[in-house]
Chains A and B, each alone.
Chain A
Amino acid sequence: MTSTKPIIQARGLKRSFHEAGRELHVLRGVDLSLNRGEWLSILGRSGSGKSTLLHLLGGLDRPTRGTVVFDDTDIFTLRGAKLDRYRNRHAGFVFQFYHLLPELSALENVLIGSMLGRDSLSRSITGLVTAGLIDLLEWLSRRKEAQKTAIEMLDRVGLGDRLTHRPAKLSGGERQRVAIARALVNRPSVLLADEPTGNLDADTASSILDLFRSLHNDGQTIAMVTHDQTVADAGDRVVTLVKGKLTAD
């Protein structure tokens, strides 16, 4: 399934933070390619910079130096709504602590991703009020379709019978499945998973990895960071991040 053409290429990525008056170099020049349909595992200890790398690949953070090229475009040349659109359409984030919105049901947590889809598009077109009305009309026209897709995603992750449950009523594994469904609802180019099993027991972690494997078999590109060698081994390829540098690619 894996194509040799890279979908994302990171070149010379550096990221530093100012902490207590001194410079903290988290990434020290990372070069990385992720091919279409590939499942890449980024292995590293705590503090090695793996989450920072994932945030940069997803356009959630900006590097101190370096580029991330997606489909021939350096995403850091994108501004405002275009970068938001990249995150919404092409990058699907899954976090260690799920980060579901507690007031929303499982279905709503998944749907919100597709609600955002057009919102960020229309934001730059007209004023806020007009954009709001356009959003509303546009959403009404595709609401049923979006709902159907969200239910399919929840079915796919095995939560078809938990649509109206709020996160507080779900187990850890179920919450992570909802988070995966949310990440997939806009059919992103790449799924960026940050320690997706880090907060789960072994059995639940295994079931989440099975789900990832199934998604991968269907052609989903996945970049997953983990500190666990066993989990990392589930991917097609493993790279190791040590003190901000990749040691294998």
Chain B
Amino acid sequence: MGSLKEYIIMRALLVIPTVFILLTLVFFILRILPGDPIVAMLGQKVPPEVLEKLRAELGLNKPIWEQYIDYLSHVIRGDLGRSMIWGRRPVIEEIMDRFPATLELTIFSFAISVFLGITTGSIAAFRRGSKIDTGMRLYSIIAYTLFIPWFGMLLQMLFGVYLDLLPIGGRIDPGLEPPHITGLYVLDSILTMHWRSLESALAHLILPSLTLGIVLSGAYTRLVRNNLIEVLNQDFIRAYRARGVRNRKIAFHAMKNAFIPIITLMGLQFAILLAGAVLTETTFSWPGIGTFLLERIQYRDYTSVQGVIVFYALFVAMISLIVDVIYALLDPRVRY
């Protein structure tokens, strides 16, 4: 497995140019947008000399290329800088405060989307050509095209307002936050045995993770169905049947073969999952990185936005690397 180590190092090195390009794009796009953090925060009526002074403090009076070099040299040293508004906290602290919320939502949505996608896709493939198959394919197309805020609000109306069963926003009822261990409320309340916190955290998770999970499951349904049908048509499946292997076991082998390419999709979907999380968080007032990002874009908080982008890029790269390693371990044909 020494070559696997080499592969991981290669992949890790490739992340550097990716992040660099992304960061450069974001840096300049943000500065092309009209307005700047000072105006956004203090409004239009600030006296010009105060404006100049505050700009000089943030280094915004320097030529743009100088700001760029300055910022890059900090990022290389692992320093994402400080936020440009409201207390100027270090960006990394702002991110870490909100990351557990996003991670919790992402994990639950991911689990829901994979579960729904695999179930519906497998049913469709095994019942290929039937009405059930048509129904599952319809589900996949509808789920895939749903607009997250619209669908989220629909669920809020239905379960939150009309049926009054579930909370429509936030992470947990006030005062029930479990002691901080990992920042994931569900995990922390289990670890510290705060059962009321657990109940509240789960109730708050249902609607947002269902929204995001259902929307993302559409792609899986299609892929699982198509892959499984392709595998079921292969010679070795017929050979299993010709040897009198039970249908149940053949289905197991078929699914194992069909899921390997889907694991790759899971890695790719992760970036979409994070993007979807931004919309879901906003819809459900979920205090995660997505809400933070949207807020800081409005305030032109350059360093925070850039920081979140770098963080997301590294996170996605890490996940896709993990997925690749899992893929290599599962498929005997792949050796790096």
Question: Is B a genuine binding partner of A?
Answer: no
A interface list, Cβ under 8 A from B:
none
B interface list, Cβ under 8 A from A:
none
